[in-house]
Amino acid sequence: MSLNMSGKTDKAKPMTPDAETLAPGAGSKVPGAGSKVLGAGPDNKGLFAAGFDQGKEDPLIASAGPDRAVAGIAGARPDRAVAGMAGTGPDRAASVISEMERYKIAVDEEETGFVTQVGDGVARVAGLRNCESGEMLEFECGIIGMAINLEENSVGCVLLGDETSVHEGMRANRTRSAVSVGVGDCLVGRVVDALGRAVDGRGDIVSDKTRPIEFMAPGVNDRQGINTPMQTGIVAIDSMIPIGRGQRELIIGDRQTGKTTIAIDAIINQKGKGVTCIYVAIGQKASSIASIAQTLEKHGAMEYTIIVASTAGDPACMQYIAPYAGCAMAEEFMYSQKKDVLIVYDDLTKHAVAYRSISLILKRPPGREAYPGDVFYLHSRLLERAARLSDELGGGSITALPIIETQGGDFSAYVPTNVVSITDGQIYLQPELFFSGQRPAINVGISVSRVGGAAQTKAMKKVSGSLRINLAQYRELEVFAQFGSDLDVATQNRLAHGERIVESLKQMNQSPLELEDQVILLYTVSGKELMGIPTKQLRQFNSAFMLHMAENLPQVLDNIRVTGQLSPDDEECLKHAIEEFKEEWLKPGWGKGRQRVRAT
């Protein structure tokens, strides 16, 4: 019996024998259906029978036997279950699936924000919730930016282009890639900006490879010890403050004391040594950068040098990314081409000032000297990328020469002490020495190389071992001698010897010396052979003697250059040559006007 909606009782309809044998629940009713979902028995009309039973309100889900319960709504035969709605077999199903694949929709996901504020080379963009630090953003006008400040409701980014074309409300899209620059041999010999674009007027640069400006420094296991010298050609540095390939050596001093000159001489000295050089100018005058380019071109050094120029007129953001871009170019030669690279950052003081400007505009909390709290990390992550790779990675290297400018000789200022603690040593240029005529004006008391003798050849170690001690003793005695005139003979001899050391270490700009010439020069200075030579004639004597060696004893120079050692036989020949040449030099009229003409 069943109760209808009106409350009346109707007689129950008898069930068919087939329906009684269905699996549990197979005979349940489907609400709202008015037709048989599946025909039963021999009058089955097939899958989704279209015939409606006008006299029956409740459709039967299935009227097959137990062996057909698995087929469910598939129809009369279980083998047609796969066909589903196709109704004609598996071939038709495969055809339908292949047809559907043709109409797949490709979804291009894009995250877009809009500019809420712009000014001073910095823009704030809202709506980029998934933006990452250092990611490149593309603005509607074509300008690109780099996200450096991730805030709760906006992203602060620096604009790497003309900020006047960016305005409030403009759309900015994520690129899901880091800021990159072009790298490779196509940059060698060119002057480029911080984005790798040519600024020397010699046409565009087409590079088929790029590298991100931010890259993780190699780990300890990927490095090896520094044991190969990076000759600068400057006697005072190569003898007392040696620099090795893969080292980070700071050049520090007041303005106009010769910091850039040392770096340029080091670049010039790499000619023919298989070293690629990169000079990064940060906040320099355009005229100064042009003068440096002409100097390198004059000495044939542009053949293996890249100049990355970020002038004082460029936005702070371009000065900020310039050293990272130069390091990315250097890494291409170190990692991919397994070469040695010398990179100069001139200078990181202006780099820190540019970063401070950006940080203050972004309203980051200022710290000591108004620098942000991560100014140490600003330079550490840059300089840590300088290394000498292990032999398994090719053995390439990056040697970094960062330059820091001090104010009034304040060696303990914030940025100088940061970089001193990061690097492997420093070359300190003292203004008093510079103005007294000592060029380069290196204070050997403060200057140090933490690599030391590991970056020197055996010949250089042999002739320069006592040089620093003798020079330090001379500086002390020089101060003591100012307070009295009565000095014993031993003190007078030490002062005379120290004067000859100082005079021999003086060196003209853009005139680096080869290793063998430095060894010859230091050998003559370390002994007492020069005591009879007047101090004013000493530099002239040294030049003439090196020319004499090149003309009469070239085999000694060749042995030093090839083996890096000063053998006992070569030392004996050198000693006799000094004595003979000194006798000739002291003859009346012999030493006057004698100049060295050998090219170095």
User: What string of H, E and C letters represents the secondary structure of 415-480?
Assistant: HHHHHHHHCCEEEEECHHHHHCCCCCCECCCCCEECCHHHHCCHHHHHHHCCHHHHHHHHHHHHHH
Strand-pair category, 2-3 with 135-139: unpaired
Least Cα distance to 406 among 452, 348, 458 occurs for 348
Q: What is the DSSP string of 358-372?
A: HHHHTTPPB-GGG-B
**pLDDT tens-digit readout, 146-188:** 999 999 899 999 999 888 899 999 999 999 999 999 999 999 9
Give the model's pLDDT for residue 4: 40
Q: Report the SS3 class of residue 121.
A: coil
Q: Cα(60)–Cα(349) distance, rounded to whole angstroms?
A: 87
Contacts of 360 (CB under 8 A, 6+ apart): 366, 370
**Annotated catalytic sites, by residue?**
450
Query: Global pTM?
Result: 0.80
Give the model's pLDDT for residue 104: 64
Q: Looking at this protein, which amino acid is placed at residue 228?
A: T
Give the model's pLDDT for residue 105: 64
Nearest 5°: the CA angle 307, 422, 374 is 90
Give the model's pLDDT for residue 107: 60
Backbone angles phi, psi at 122, to 5 degrees: -130, 140
Q: What is the DSSP string of 255-268?
A: TTSSHHHHHHHHHH
Q: Are 513 and 600 in contact (CB under 8 A)?
A: yes
Evaluate if residue 99 carries a pLDDT over 70.
yes
- pLDDT band at residue 94 under the 50/70/90 scheme: confident
Evaluate if residue 35 carries a pLDDT over 80.
no
Q: Please, how many CA atoms are within 13 Å of residue 351, restricted to the half-sphere of its CB?
A: 28
Helix, strand, coil share (%) of the chain residues, nearest 5: 40, 20, 40
Evaluate if residue 208 carries a pLDDT over 60.
yes
Bridge partner residues of 211 (DSSP): 181
Q: Cα(565)–Cα(559) distance, rounded to whole angstroms?
A: 7
Least Cα distance to 302 among 190, 378, 195 occurs for 190
**pLDDT tens-digit readout, 298-349:** 999 999 999 999 999 999 999 999 999 999 999 999 999 999 999 999 999 9
Evaluate if residue 74 carries a pLDDT over 60.
no
**pLDDT tens-digit readout, 43-64:** 444 433 334 344 444 433 334 4
The tokens of 481 are what? 């001698």
- pLDDT band at residue 92 under the 50/70/90 scheme: confident
**pLDDT tens-digit readout, 385-436:** 999 999 999 999 999 999 999 999 888 999 999 999 999 999 999 999 999 8
**pLDDT tens-digit readout, 448-474:** 999 988 899 999 999 998 898 888 888
Least Cα distance to 36 among 24, 27, 26, 48 occurs for 48
Share above pLDDT 90 across residues of the chain, in percent, rounded to a whole number: 64
- pLDDT band at residue 68 under the 50/70/90 scheme: very low
Q: Are 320 and 158 in contact (CB under 8 A)?
A: yes
Least confident among 153-157, 193-197, 291-295, 492-496: 492-496
Higher pLDDT pick, 262 / 30: 262
**pLDDT tens-digit readout, 4-26:** 434 343 444 444 444 333 333 44
Nearest 5°: the CA angle 541, 547, 548 is 85
Domains in the chain, CATH or no CATH each: 2-101 (no CATH), 112-179 (2.40.30.20), 187-200+222-456 (3.40.50.300), 462-585 (1.20.150.20)
Q: Are 477 and 494 in contact (CB under 8 A)?
A: yes
Q: Cα(382)–Cα(317) distance, rounded to whole angstroms?
A: 16
Nearest 5°: the CA angle 408, 409, 415 is 100
**pLDDT tens-digit readout, 100-110:** 777 666 666 77
